[in-house]
């Protein structure tokens, strides 16, 4: 059998390996499970430390809330950096470095002498570490799962719920025994486990995953086994293929447009491929063309307003309960109750999304509106039993929302652009994560009532649902156009076959 030509071999190598939806994919899911817990689970549990830090530094609710908002904003802003570093080096190494940064940041935060120190350590540096761990892990999960992606995302994000349930009473116990500084020191040790999560991240193109791809290729075209000696991630191989294809297309285009000008043709043929290569390599790390995708930008605007309401409730739930005269451990237990129902919501509604009974965007719209309504009703709760009911309802609907909101992203841009899309989505959403808690804290300080923070969050979520409705209409237009094109193509083929 003759070996395939070089162009054919490049094309075969550039084909992204299929998502296995099983096997080692479950270890990727396990890693993502603990990454969710040790990042966003810690952020949600931070409300237990809120009152003690506020009293220690004798500051306002808005001033203390900046710690969490800086963390959340940094996670979002640094997400494109994490995506680019993962493409340049590897997901595994980036996650391990991120785990070390998280641990060191929290340990140094325990030694803080002012709120500014906490802003820098527990806020900025810890958020940077979270971005370097969370973004590559979620990207790997999307590459390893396709058919079971909604369920995989739901199970992975359940780590946030389970660790919130565990860390909330643990933090309260550590505060009572060692103060909030001791609690941060122990948290720094726990976050070293993020490095272990990074060790589990094996590229999908490694020999175990590449074996099935190699067998198929050998059957179709005699692809040489040596070409798999150093297998690259699918998005990197695809980028290199684009360099070849786009260079050829660009050169042909230049020849067609300027056939009579020899000097211009010569200059174009040499410079255009170089520019194309540069542009393609930049897109390999940061796909800036996503900003021209209308559906992606609409979904990103949903993310901005949703982030305004996502993080403030968990931060202010414990202080709100304590302002109503609820005891410390009872107030802390509200977050645990919310976490349990959050877990139920993620798993159940992730399973529902996997059934494809309705479009994922429609399901997400319904849960976001319901979540905003629940938050608007929170100020009516004043007793412990009423707060338990609110925490349960909030946790269930919040879990239903979070279980599928990332799943919509690959449906909007395609799984091959998920890494860059996730980074850009987090970057755009960062403004909401940064401003949400301080805005809520501002209203709390002005009105002297923690309930106003929940009202602000509820309004922001309902506004975000409007962008989902716009996205749904855009999806229907795209599907309608695709159906029309497909019908016309079939009619043309049938007419060609007729005598």
DSSP 195-229: HHHHHT---TTSHHHHHHHHHHHHHHH---GGGGT
Assess whether pLDDT exceeds 80 at residue 38.
yes
Per-residue pLDDT, averaged over 45-59, amounts to: 86
Confidence of residue 145 (pLDDT cuts 50, 70, 90): confident
Q: How far is CA 14 from the centre of its chain?
A: 26
For residues 264 and 291, what is the distance between their CA atoms, to the nearest angstrom?
32
Nearest to 470 by CA among 361, 318, 357: 361
Confidence of residue 275 (pLDDT cuts 50, 70, 90): low
Nearest to 66 by CA among 483, 470, 437: 437
Average pLDDT value over all residues in the chain:
77
For residues 164 and 340, what is the distance between their CA atoms, to the nearest angstrom?
9
SS3 275: helix
Assess whether pLDDT exceeds 50 at residue 236.
no
- Residue 27 structure tokens: 């270890």
Phi then psi for residue 268, to 5 deg, are -65, -40
Phi then psi for residue 459, to 5 deg, are -65, -45
Taking only the tens place, the pLDDT of each residue in 436-478 is 888 888 888 888 888 888 999 999 999 999 999 998 888 888 7
> Is residue 426 a contact partner of residue 75, using CB atoms and an 8 Å limit?
yes
DSSP 242-267: HHHHHHHHHHHHHHHH-SS-HHHHHH
Per-residue pLDDT, averaged over 97-122, amounts to: 93
Residues 6+ apart with CB under 8 A from 481: none
Taking only the tens place, the pLDDT of each residue in 189-199 is 999 999 999 99
Nearest to 198 by CA among 132, 103, 287, 113: 132
- Residue 279 structure tokens: 């542009």
Per-residue pLDDT, averaged over 198-222, amounts to: 55
For residues 285 and 278, what is the distance between their CA atoms, to the nearest angstrom?
11
What was the pLDDT predicted at 204?
A: 74
For residues 104 and 108, what is the distance between their CA atoms, to the nearest angstrom?
6
Per-residue pLDDT, averaged over 178-198, amounts to: 92
For residues 181 and 115, what is the distance between their CA atoms, to the nearest angstrom?
13
Q: Which helix (H) or strand (E) holds 414?
A: none
Angle between helix axes 384-405 and 149-190 (nearest 10 degrees) is 120
For residues 246 and 31, what is the distance between their CA atoms, to the nearest angstrom?
37
Per-residue pLDDT, averaged over 280-295, amounts to: 67
For residues 226 and 214, what is the distance between their CA atoms, to the nearest angstrom?
10
The half-sphere exposure of 88 on its side-chain side, counting CA atoms within 13 A, is 12
Taking only the tens place, the pLDDT of each residue in 404-419 is 877 788 778 876 777 6
The CATH class of the 18-204+287-480 domain is: mainly alpha
Assess whether pLDDT exceeds 90 at residue 84.
no
Where are the chain's structural domains? 18-204+287-480, 233-286
Distances from the Cα of 194 to the Cα of 14, 30, 103, 197, 210, angstroms:
31, 12, 9, 5, 27
> Is residue 57 a contact partner of residue 114, using CB atoms and an 8 Å limit?
yes
What was the pLDDT predicted at 149?
A: 78
Q: How far is CA 254 from the centre of its chain?
A: 40
Per-residue pLDDT, averaged over 394-411, amounts to: 83
Q: How many separate helices (H) and strands (E) can be counted in the chain?
A: 21, 0
Greater confidence, 237 or 286?
286
Largest CA distance in the chain: 89
| Percentage of the chain exceeding pLDDT 90 | 24
Phi then psi for residue 20, to 5 deg, are -70, -25
What was the pLDDT predicted at 282?
A: 54
Phi then psi for residue 140, to 5 deg, are -60, -40
For residues 383 and 374, what is the distance between their CA atoms, to the nearest angstrom?
17
pTM of the model: 0.64
> Is residue 217 a contact partner of residue 231, using CB atoms and an 8 Å limit?
no
| Percentage of the chain exceeding pLDDT 70 | 75
What was the pLDDT predicted at 277?
A: 62
Residues 6+ apart with CB under 8 A from 282: 288
Assess whether pLDDT exceeds 60 at residue 47.
yes
**Structure letter (DSSP) for residue 191:** T
């Amino acid at each position: 059998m003759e070996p395939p030509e070089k162009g054919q071999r490049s094309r075969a190598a550039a084909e992204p390996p299929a998502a296995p939806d099983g096997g080692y994919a479950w270890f990727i899911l396990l890693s993502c499970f603990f990454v969710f817990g040790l990042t966003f689970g810690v952020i949600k549990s931070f409300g237990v430390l809120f009152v003690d830090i506020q009293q220690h530094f004798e500051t306002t609710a808005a001033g203390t809330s900046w710690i969490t908002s800086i963390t959340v904003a940094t996670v979002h802003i640094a997400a494109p950096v994490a995506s680019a570093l993962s493409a340049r080096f590897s997901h595994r190494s980036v996650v391990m470095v991120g785990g070390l940064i998280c641990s060191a940041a929290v340990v140094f935060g325990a030694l803080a002498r002012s709120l500014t120190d906490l802003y820098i350590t527990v806020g900025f540096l810890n958020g940077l570490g979270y971005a370097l761990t969370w973004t590559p892990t979620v990207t790997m999960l999307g590459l390893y799962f396709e058919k079971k992606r909604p369920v995989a995302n739901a199970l992975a994000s359940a780590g946030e719920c389970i660790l919130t349930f565990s860390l909330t009473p643990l933090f309260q116990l550590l505060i009572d025994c060692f103060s909030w500084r001791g609690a941060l020191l122990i948290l720094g040790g726990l976050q070293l486990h993020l490095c272990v999560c990074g060790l589990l991240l094996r590229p999908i193109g490694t020999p175990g995953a590449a074996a099935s791809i190699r067998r198929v290729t050998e059957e179709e075209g005699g692809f040489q086994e040596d070409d798999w000696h150093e297998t690259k991630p699918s998005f990197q191989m695809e980028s290199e293929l684009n360099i070849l294809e786009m260079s050829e297309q660009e050169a042909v285009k230049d020849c067609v447009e300027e056939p009579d000008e020899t000097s211009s043709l010569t200059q174009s043929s040499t410079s255009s491929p170089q520019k194309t290569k540069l542009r393609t390599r930049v897109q390999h790390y940061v796909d800036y063309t996503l900003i021209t995708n209308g559906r992606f930008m609409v979904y990103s605007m949903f993310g901005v307003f949703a982030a305004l309401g996502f993080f403030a409730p968990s931060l202010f739930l414990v202080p709100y309960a304590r302002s109503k005269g609820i005891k410390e451990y009872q107030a802390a237990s509200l977050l645990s109750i919310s976490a349990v129902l959050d877990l139920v919501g993620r798993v159940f509604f992730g399973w529902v999304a996997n059934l494809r009974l309705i479009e994922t965007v429609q399901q997400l719209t319904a849960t976001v509106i319901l979540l905003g309504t629940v938050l608007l009703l929170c100020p009516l709760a004043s007793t412990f039993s009423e707060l338990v009911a609110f925490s349960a309802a909030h946790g269930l609907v919040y879990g239903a929302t979070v279980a599928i909101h990332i799943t919509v992203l690959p449906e909007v841009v395609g799984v091959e652009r998920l890494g860059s899309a996730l980074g850009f989505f987090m970057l755009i959403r960062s403004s909401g994560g940064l401003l949400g808690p301080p805005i809520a804290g501002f209203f709390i300080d002005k009105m002297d009532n923690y309930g106003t923070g929940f009202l602000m969050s509820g309004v922001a979520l309902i506004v975000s649902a409007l962008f989902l409705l716009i996205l749904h209409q855009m999806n229907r237009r795209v599907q309608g156009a695709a159906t029309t094109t497909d019908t016309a193509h079939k009619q043309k083929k049938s007419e060609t076959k007729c005598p």
